[in-house]
Amino acid sequence: MMENIKIREALAEDAEQIIAYTKLVGGETENLTFGESGFPITLEQEEKFLKHVHDDKTSVHLIACKNGEIIGNGSLSGLPRRMSHRAELGLTVKKDYWNLGIGSMLMKKLIEYAKENGIEIINLEVRNDNLNAIHLYEKFGFKHIGTSPAYIKINGYYADFELMYLDLR
Ligand SMILES: CC(C)(COP(=O)(O)OP(=O)(O)OC[C@H]1O[C@@H](n2cnc3c(N)ncnc32)[C@H](O)[C@@H]1OP(=O)(O)O)[C@@H](O)C(=O)NCCC(=O)NCCS
């Protein structure tokens, strides 16, 4: 299962596969802020976005690939102005590959990137019953800030999210 898995930065040429991957993982879980429709973004917008992320030191988009197929992604999105010391983290792994350490591999590389590029605080939001994700974040030293009630609404059901952060100062 773990043979031939490579983690690399996403490039503009990966845009089409990333759009398809986002819809796939959105449909596999109710833990994310999006579902099977993914994001309303065109191929051109996604390509432009990936180029911007590549050029921006406070942002990065990593993908885990197995034999050319995307099976995981991890991102840091830098914030502007007086928040430019902080970045927001996103992490997903394709369901067939959960609990094999791929999320941890991506997280390790994101933290390395943050340290090398002067990101001081990593923030994230995670559904509070998403125990494997919370376990992973705590394992890497993330601390709980508090709970944001009714953070997402799915078919009339409200789910609370934990706000967490990692202080790299
Ligand atoms: C959260 C997610 C990224 C984790 O990826 P992954 O590749 O499965 O992560 P890993 O295998 O590296 O680590 C999972 C950890 O959770 C643990 N775990 C699994 N089920 C658990 C549970 N019910 N309670 C506590 N810990 C659990 C595993 O033992 C492992 O910990 P370990 O490394 O100490 O053994 C993946 O499950 C996912 O994509 N989920 C859907 C999207 C999502 O929720 N993303 C996070 C949004 S904030």
Domain boundaries, the chain: 5-167
For residues 7 and 106, is the Cβ–Cβ distance under 8 A? Answer: yes
Q: Quick one: pLDDT at residue 41?
A: 95
Q: Is the CB of 132 under 6 A from ligand 1?
A: yes
Q: If you classify domain 5-167 with CATH, what class do you get?
A: alpha beta
CB 68 within 8 A of CB 62: no
15 lines ligand 1 (CB under 6 A): no
**Ligand 1 centroid to 104 CA: how many Å?**
8
Banded model confidence at residue 9, pLDDT cuts 50, 70, 90: very high
Tell how far the Cα of 100 is from the centroid of ligand 1, in angstroms: 9
pLDDT class of 2 with cuts at 50, 70, 90? confident
**Segment 114-138, tens digit of pLDDT:** 999 999 999 999 999 999 999 999 9
pLDDT at 108: 98
Instruction: Determine if ligand 1 sits within 6 Å of the CB of residue 91.
Output: yes
